[in-house]
């Protein structure tokens, strides 16, 4: 910002002015609603009314119910599986784009190709798996026609398998983009020096590429984990409604106007996701890496 000379005496206020619009938006649309959710999570309710008081029953009921733990175990299981798969995909795709595609034009072209699936909506990308994986779907018909299966494989659809496939398909890009970005910033000279010094390709990856792209890996992991933890729609559709998630349980509660328990559930989920993000940030200091 090129501030006029006269304003330079008040330079200390400039950063505050610059950050004000974002801060305002965050406070109004994120801060206040979040505080309300926390407040409501301590409210009581009877058959028709939410009673503004301070009770811990919502939390004690939530934490004493085995259902909560089953749901979290299930949701975290999905998050970890999807995280591992998208990490491998994100890393290999970025590695190929950055180190094997020489021309910048091809690099950008192929990178854009990765985003093609995102030109249609989430819902369509997810639903298109159903006719492919179904009992009488394309995949099963092909397998039977090729003689590779004698009866349709039922685990392909409405199962954990199909849920994970949809997640990976939906969220891989969120891993590719940050990893690609940080890999592209790796100084080629470092790698050349390593190769000249006799390092194998494997050592170059483990000792140079992985450490130097850890910012991207951390950011991608945050995206993927937060997206999976907060989802209920993909689970619902791809498991044929046969698998639940933390958010699905919350949505069932809201459907019958049970706001306080749903709010308590939301606060717990938020805490756990925040903890997971904190662990990632602890391992990789994203801010230092980005500014450095």
Point out which residues bind another protein (CB under 8 A).
47-49, 65, 67, 70-71, 74, 130-131, 134-137, 154, 157-158, 236-237, 240-244, 248-249, 251-258, 261
Nearer Cβ to another protein, position 136 or 288?
Answer: 136
Question: How far is it between the farthest Cα atoms of the chain?
Answer: 82
Residue 89 exposed, middle or buried by CB count within 10 Å (0-12, 13-18, 19+): middle
Distance in Å, CB of 152 to another protein, minimum: 10
State in angstroms the smallest separation of the CB of 125 from another protein: 17
For another protein, the closer CB: 252 or 271: 252
Owner of token pair 């304003």 = 7
User: Which is nearer to another protein, 181 or 251 (by Cβ)?
Assistant: 251
| Minimum distance, C-beta of residue 79 to another protein, in the bound complex (Å) | 15
Q: What is the nearest approach in angstroms of another protein to the Cβ of residue 41?
A: 15
Shortest Å distance, C-beta 130 to another protein? 7
Long-range pairs for 61-67: beta carbons < 8 A, 24 or more residues apart: 61/261, 62/261, 62/264, 62/265, 62/268, 63/268, 67/249
Closer by beta carbon to another protein, 70 or else 115: 70
**Residue 157 or 284: which CB sits closer to another protein?**
157
In sign, the C-alpha dihedral spanning 189, 193, 198, 203 is: negative
**By C-beta, is 70 or 271 nearer to another protein?**
70
Cα angle 285, 200, 89; round to 5:
55
Q: Do residues 267 and 96 touch, judged by C-beta distance below 8 A?
A: no
Minimum CB separation of residue 111 from another protein in Å reads 35
Both tokens of 167, joined, read: 């997640």
């Amino acid at each position: 910002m090129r501030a006029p000379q006269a304003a330079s005496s008040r330079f200390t206020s400039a950063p505050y002015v610059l950050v004000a619009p974002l801060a305002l938006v965050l406070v109004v649309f994120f801060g206040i609603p979040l505080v309300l959710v926390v407040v409501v999570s301590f409210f009581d309710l009877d058959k028709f009314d939410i009673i503004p008081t301070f009770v811990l029953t919502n939390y004690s009921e939530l934490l004493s119910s085995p259902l909560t733990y089953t749901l979290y175990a299930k949701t975290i299981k999905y998050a970890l599986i999807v995280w591992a798969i998208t990490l491998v995909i994100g890393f290999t795709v970025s590695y190929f784009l950055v180190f094997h595609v020489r021309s910048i034009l091809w690099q950008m072209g192929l990178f854009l190709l990765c985003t093609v699936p995102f030109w249609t909506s989430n819902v369509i990308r997810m639903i298109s798996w159903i006719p492919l994986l179904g009992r009488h779907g394309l995949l099963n018909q092909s397998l039977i026609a090729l003689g590779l299966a004698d009866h349709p494989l039922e685990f392909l659809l409405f199962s954990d398998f199909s849920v994970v496939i949809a997640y990976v398909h939906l969220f891989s890009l969120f891993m590719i983009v940050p990893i690609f970005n940080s890999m592209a910033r790796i100084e080629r000279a470092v790698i050349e020096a390593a190769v000249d010094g006799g390092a194998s390709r494997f050592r170059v990856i483990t000792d140079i590429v992985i450490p130097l792209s850890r910012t991207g890996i951390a950011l991608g992991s945050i995206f993927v984990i937060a997206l999976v933890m907060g989802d209920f729609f993909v689970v619902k559709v791809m498991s044929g409604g046969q698998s639940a998630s933390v958010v699905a349980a919350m949505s069932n509660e809201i459907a019958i106007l049970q706001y306080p328990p749903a709010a308590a559930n939301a606060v717990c989920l938020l805490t756990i996701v925040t903890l997971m993000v904190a662990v990632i940030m602890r391992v990789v200091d994203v801010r230092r890496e980005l500014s450095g």
